Structure 1
Amino acid sequence: MRIDLNADLGEAFGRWELGDDDALLDVVSSANVACGFHAGDPTVLRRTCNLAARRGVAIGAHTGYRDLAGFGRRFVDVPPTELANDVLYQLGALRQFADVAGTRVSYIKPHGALYNAIVHDERQAEAVVDAVLDFDSNLTALGLPGSAWLRLAAEAGLPVMHEVFADRAYTPEGRLVSRREPGAVLHDPVEVAERCVRMATEGEIVAIDGTVIPVRADSICVHGDTQGAVELARAVRTGLNEAGVTVAAFAMAPV
């Protein structure tokens, strides 16, 4: 068995530091790099791409709403045409820094409120798909199983990959529990590792109410801004390795 392990990285901004990108890049196989709208700036983007390239970690575009103050976790009712342009702009910025680092953008994973919105918002999901098609029709779309985003991406001919979350609780419907709810974010490395092994090997997860639900897991995410993210990622990778699951990127494009 084989699975990807990804983390949201490059989310510092100016003098504001967030997460330990250097340590996480020693653990994960894919890096979702913030593209400057919800977090990140040109210097951060370039540094993150350079670090990922040196370690052979795949780079994905972590595109979000234009919402630095809210860290991209607030829904923005942006018109589809404007949203498509915003996403295309972010993809282009990251591609330039990836090119300079000697690698390339291999996939796209929308961030935060945009990620959650395009689970069900057809208009915004279609706008993101349109941006990807204008950028690179071979770019892999990463997202939540059952989302409008992945369905529309597949219908447009884009390769798709299904993501699960190591450190987030699930509803019985297979959606993420809102961060406003207690228990939405998980911090126990042992519990998180066990959940990930179960998702990878058995294709199921226990929801917040105890319901066992099926999941399709091509890639596991550990949020870089979760407290103890490095320890969580290391525990997940160790658990997967001990269970006979190989951790490897799903979309490492040749230069």
Structure 2
Amino acid sequence: MSDAALARSIADEAGALLRDIRATATCSDRELGQRGDREANLLIIDRLRAARPDDFILSEESLDDRARCAARRVWIIDPLDGTREYSERLNDWAVHIGLAIDGVPASGAVALPACGRTFATDDTAPLPALPPGRPRMVVSRTRAPVIATLVAEAIGANLVPMGSAGAKAMAVVAGDAEIYLHDGGQYEWDNCAPAAVAMAAGFHASRIDGSPLVYNCIDPLLPDLLICRPEWAAPVLAAIARLRPAQGPEQPQQS
């Protein structure tokens, strides 16, 4: 089985588990999120270790084994991206299964289990035609980054509130938005799989200064991200370069 097919299979299985937990659990919202994180993480790690025993794993929900830093192949996973949305019975949460090879987001899958959709690097649709009118920029439902608001004003974009990082990135891939701009705190597991899928589908993915996304770093903090249609990459990056020095870095916030 290819890496992408494996990622898709595991993401689908973890998504089904999370749907079942949410449908049957009688615990509090907080306990629901904790149970989902824990059980999905165990399932994903078991499947990856069985299928790729020589690879390393970096997970939001597991102790970081720094031996991974010397490895070429590292699976970077978020078993439940958007725990708040999951706990509050919303639909915009995701499962991320990404594979970095030599620091590059090479393969992976993002499942949106509540929506019944999974996006993977081996099954990408042709880039849809650029829609007319104002671009749509997806941002955090609870607190949009200041830079995103400023850039949206500069390029004439409409802000679209949404939940998890995976849901926002896949909204761009699916053609439901054109830009996902985040600043203020993410980790490698928040965006490795989304970046891999977006890049495989022909979209732009980078840091917000335009530099490449690099994974399997000693410190997994990867605080900012731009995923967008290729036509919007240059205008957005130019607007960020103009606006960000005056605005300054943001404090960590929801992805």
Instruction: Calculate the TM-score normalised by the size of structure 2.
Output: 0.31
Identify, as 1 or 2, the structure richer in strand.
2
Identify, as 1 or 2, the structure richer in helix.
2
**Greater relative CO (CA pairs within 8 A, separation 6+):** 1
